[in-house]
Amino acid sequence: MRTTPLSLRSAARRLGVVALLPLALPFTAGAALAQQRPAITTLELEPAPLASLPPVPPAVGLPQLQGQVSCPALQQRVQSVLGREAGVWSVTVADARGRLLADVNGTRPRVPASNQKLVSTAFALDRLGPDYRLATRLWRLPDGSFRLTGEGDPDLALPQLQRLTKLALGSGGSSGQTPSLVRLQIAEEPKQAWWPRGWHPDDRYYAYGAPITRLAVTSNAINDAVMNPPSRLQALLQKSVSQQGGAVQVSLVPATAPLPPDAVLLHQEPSAPMHSLLSLANTESHNFTAEVLMRQAAGTWNLAQAQQLTSQWLGQQGLPMQGVRVADGSGLDRANRLTSRLLAALLLRMDQHPYGRNYLASMAVAGQRGTLRNLYKGTPLQGQFYGKTGTLTGVRSISGVLLTSDGPRYVSALSNGAYQPNTTIGQVLRQAQQTQLCPG
């Protein structure tokens, strides 16, 4: 909050301090007064009573999304675009002042598909910061064995494994001797926690539905999902060690198992920085990364707890939470429920966030980048809309920030059953670009 500096005199008045000013008396009268009593010293002054301080002004908060539509012209245009399909749509448009410019079914909860990633990535950026990196760590235990721990780095691959096994073979590089056998523990989540319960069993066989584990070589996907990540990791570790002339005995321990007090960190492999992770989740709609980011932001890989903490964070931002349900971090779970009004309010909130530029930069761009690269190309929307897409059978959602001559517009459009949703959303965005409809 900015304040205007006060003059010393004004400050004194506000603090109840009485300034001693020269008396406006003739010289003779003043001299006579001085003869009647000694000069007043500071120590003899009785303290002036403190004036009651004025009430503290309310804090200057971030703009909040208003509850009433304030642009009838745009509201009418959006309703006209939706037409007879309005019942399957939720559309909200807001501006940087928090004005609700248009809103159709904005408080009706809908399946958001991958628009859910806007929630998990905002949560992660706020909690972890733009410089955060996931870590894969190799520990040496007091008994001479080793433990491998991870935080779900989506880019963990063979080069990192080879560095880790080389260090294990060299006992951390301290002796220079290669042991005949390396005993290595893999710290991992239990199998029942690899997939959110709401993910359809058929989706789990595809790369986009790969299991969510802490140690996930190439995000637990090759062409399709890797169904048993620890088994694959064990095979890769054994191959890497044997190529270096050693042998390894791999065992599996719970990720929650505490490290011994005297465990020594031998090496840490950092992931790409947060801005790259955010872009992977939002621009390319990578489910695995979004799930990991939500868990790391929550500080727990217990999905139920992570869901609860994500919801609590949303509420703490002052967002409209009625009907909202967080079921996972990626949107593949059809139990997720978001409203277009919540998403528009979240986009508004994040645009005012200290890391808001990182958030915006993580999104796809109409006609240019990511999952929007082939949409709205050659139209006035190209390069002017930064957004997140979402697609499930019967579900299409696009939400993001539309750049206009009058500042940003925050637009969320969720459809559950629309016929040609991409076309409709494009028409909504074009109407939102018409700034003359909503004069300031």
3-state secondary structure of 199: coil
Which residues are bridge partners to 183 per DSSP?
249
For residue 19, the model assigns a pLDDT of 35
Q: Which pair of structure tokens corresponds to residue 77?
A: 């245009």
**Each residue of 140-195: pLDDT tens digit?**
999 999 999 999 999 999 999 999 999 999 864 344 455 579 999 999 999 999 99
Q: Please answer whether residues 190 and 230 qualify as being in contact, where contact means their C-beta atoms are separated by less than 8 angstroms.
A: no
Alpha-carbon gap, residue 109 to 105, rounded angstroms: 9
For residue 170, the model assigns a pLDDT of 84
For residue 63, the model assigns a pLDDT of 82
For residue 440, the model assigns a pLDDT of 81
Phi and psi at 70, nearest 5°, equal -115, 5
**Each residue of 391-411: pLDDT tens digit?**
999 999 999 999 999 999 999
pTM: 0.85
For residue 174, the model assigns a pLDDT of 42
User: Strands (DSSP E) along 141-181, which ranges?
Assistant: 146-149
For residue 10, the model assigns a pLDDT of 36
> How far lies 109's CA from each of 97, 335, 352, 411, 413, in Å?
24, 11, 25, 16, 12
Alpha-carbon gap, residue 125 to 249, rounded angstroms: 38
For residue 40, the model assigns a pLDDT of 33
User: Strands (DSSP E) along 357-421, which ranges?
Assistant: 364-365, 385-392, 395-404, 407-416
Containing H/E element for 100?
Answer: strand 100-104
User: Taking CA 329 as the corner, what is the angle to CA 323 and CA 334, rounded to the nearest 5 degrees?
Assistant: 55
Which residue stretches of the chain have pLDDT < 70? 1-61, 171-179
Q: Please answer whether residues 369 and 152 qualify as being in contact, where contact means their C-beta atoms are separated by less than 8 angstroms.
A: no
